[in-house]
Amino acid sequence: MKIILALTHGLHVRNWCATGLLKMLVDQGHRVTVLAPEPLLGWVIQGLMIGDPQGPYNRLGLCRTLAVEPYTGSRVRRWLRAGPYRTASYATRSIHTRTYAHKLARRRRWRQRLEIAVAGRLGEGWALESERRWRPGDACVRLLQSERPDLLVTPSFLHTGLEVDLLKAARVAGITTVVPVATWDALVSKGCFLERPDRLLVWGEQSKQHAYELHGFQAQQVVVTGAPQFDVYAGPMPAGQRQTVLVAGTTIAYWQDEQRVVEALARDGERAGYAVHYRPHPRQRRDLAAFAEGLGNVTLDGEWREQAANGGGFSPRPADLGHLRGVLDRCFGVVASFSTVSVEAALLGLPTFMVGFGVDIPGHADWEHISPILTWPGVALCETTDHLLAQIRMARSGAFESCVGGLRERANTVARNLDGLARERIVGALEEADG
């Protein structure tokens, strides 16, 4: 089988290359042309070397790499897809979902308000019809003509639109298209598909329902595989006493009280005898996390620090893939503001305490992908700092140990990874899509 794998973002490079998923595809004998951001092409090769330093040399005939930038659309197309078209979709969908209503409410700059007033009034139908009138980019057409792949596979966040020209060119050429949805919330918070693929691969049953109910896909078009980067959470946590709480940060737009919460935990930890591991969001600016350097019992995450020094973002290094799992293995609980880390913690049976107070936080509890998680055993929505600290003390005393099994079972409905076989399921789904 010949595959074009378009990795339009660094996170996709991590999820497909650092996990060994690309290597697994090639080792099955499939010929793969990988499109990736030019600065990250070296990490694609590194992914072929996992467990086999001679990997790239042994697989040169089956895998080659190209820069993805020529295939992501013109500057005007990228602006329309990530700007007005996305806003039009948000405005249409805000009628039915609280997530989109909240996103629009946060867009307060005059340019954003103008975009909402114009594109939002025109609506999602206008965005889809306008996109339909665009021909696929010439570079994409030429690539597919020269490669003649059986499948086009392009992971997507939906809202960036970087894969649309490739999907469109593949449809015109009669090539089967597969989109692995890159996150657990994309189908409920990132707008519509400007170009619909033939098949979707999703993390779990929750996303499968979102694909049916919010995007109109049929049962045979959607495959639950799990997230390849979460296979590291298969297997129980090691035995032993754990004396650390993880604070998983988010973007400053959604948790403006993050510093205050970390400082409160640091003070409580000094009194109660536990440590705080602080992991800012990968996109967080270094200066906004600098306060943690002066807190005695707070450890600023080493992987985040290294990435921040090199421009930020998610690490593409295979050696870093299990870093967060290693941190969580030392923790008795997680403090988060509605972060994906809460799902990762639950896969290990760890309780999560959601910060439900402060600037602009409480509305997040109503988001369609978040509200079910708040019903899980061992997940608490904390209404004040004192409430949060009380939950931390309960976790240290072992009050949530009975929740381990229930947490892991429910987390598996969001990310099917307890068996550690997401990558095998993805390879199988691609082979099945080829028929």
Q: Which domains does the chain have, with CATH numbers?
A: 2-73+137-231+419-433 (3.40.50.2000), 75-129 (no CATH), 235-414 (3.40.50.2000)
Cβ neighbours of 278 (radius 10 Å):
25
φ, ψ (nearest 5 deg) of residue 196: -80, 135
Taking residue 54's Cβ as centre, other Cβ atoms within 10 Å add up to 9
Q: Please state, for a pLDDT cut of 90, what percent of the chain lies above it.
A: 70
Q: What is the pLDDT of residues 401-427, one digit of tens each?
A: 999 999 999 999 999 999 999 999 999
The type of residue at 25 is L
CA distance between the termini of the chain: 10
Which of 282, 290, 286 minimizes the C-alpha distance to 259?
290
Burial 228-255 (b: 16+ CB within 10 A, else e): bbbbbbbeebeeeebebbbbbbbeeebb
Q: What does the angle CA 180 – CA 214 – CA 6 come to, to the nearest 5 degrees?
A: 20
Query: For position 328, what pLDDT does the model report?
Result: 96
Extract the residue ranges of the chain whose pLDDT is less than 50.
none
Q: What is the pLDDT of residue 420?
A: 97
**pLDDT score for 358:** 66
Per residue in 149-159, pLDDT (tens digit) is 999 999 999 99
What are the residues whose beta carbons fall under 8 Å from the beta carbon of 92, sequence distance 6 or more?
A: 123, 124, 125
Closest CA to 248 of 337, 180, 319: 337
pLDDT value of position 252: 52
